[in-house]
Amino acid sequence: MERTLAIIKPDAVERRLAGPIIQRIEDAGFGIRAMRRVHLSKKDAEGFYAVHRARPFFASLTRFMSSGPAVVLVLEAPDAIKKWRTLMGATDPAKADAGTLRKEFAQSIERNATHGSDAPETAAYEIGYFFSGLELI
């Protein structure tokens, strides 16, 4: 079994899509090992996305991610990272496959409804950013 971090981003929470997205997560066979609603400060968002600090979209991304509540989850399944990234679809919803979360729920590349870890090391860091070991079931 593998774990990954998932985020239902502020755009999706604002549009009341957290429930349908969580339902899709469960329907896909993921176990939800932890879940929390958060409202990141700008500083928290900058810390979480620090790896992108030099990228041109960093300021816009952290402003967006601190613009409203989000839902953070720890998902567990065999090959969870790949499975979650497949369910999410491409970052650009215009390029996402039919039936993926981003194709159905994203509004743009930035307002793309969900986030997911891209590697086991990233997942470990991202899960630890939001959850202590005692919170994981």
111: left (phi over 0), alpha (psi -120 to 50) or beta: beta
Tell me: pLDDT of 133 over 90: no
The pLDDT, as a whole number, for residue 84 is 98
Tokens at residue 111, please?
């307002």
Per annotation, catalytic residue among 115, 127, 130, 131? 115
Task: Answer yes or no: 39 catalytic.
Answer: no
Rounded mean pLDDT of 120-133? 92
Pairing state between β 2-8 and 114-116: antiparallel
For residue 105, pLDDT over 90 is answered with yes
Q: What is the pTM of this model?
A: 0.91
* For residue 36, pLDDT beyond 90: yes
Q: Is 117 exposed, middle or buried (0-12, 13-18, 19+ CB in 10 A)?
A: buried
Percent helix, strand and coil across the chain, each rounded to 5? 45, 20, 35
Q: Does pLDDT of 115 surpass 80?
A: yes
Tokens at 25, concatenated: 């997560």
Q: What is the pLDDT of residue 134?
A: 65
User: What is the arithmetic mean of pLDDT over 47-76?
Assistant: 94
β-partners of residue 4 are: 75
pLDDT at position 132 is 84
* Average pLDDT for 8-18: 97
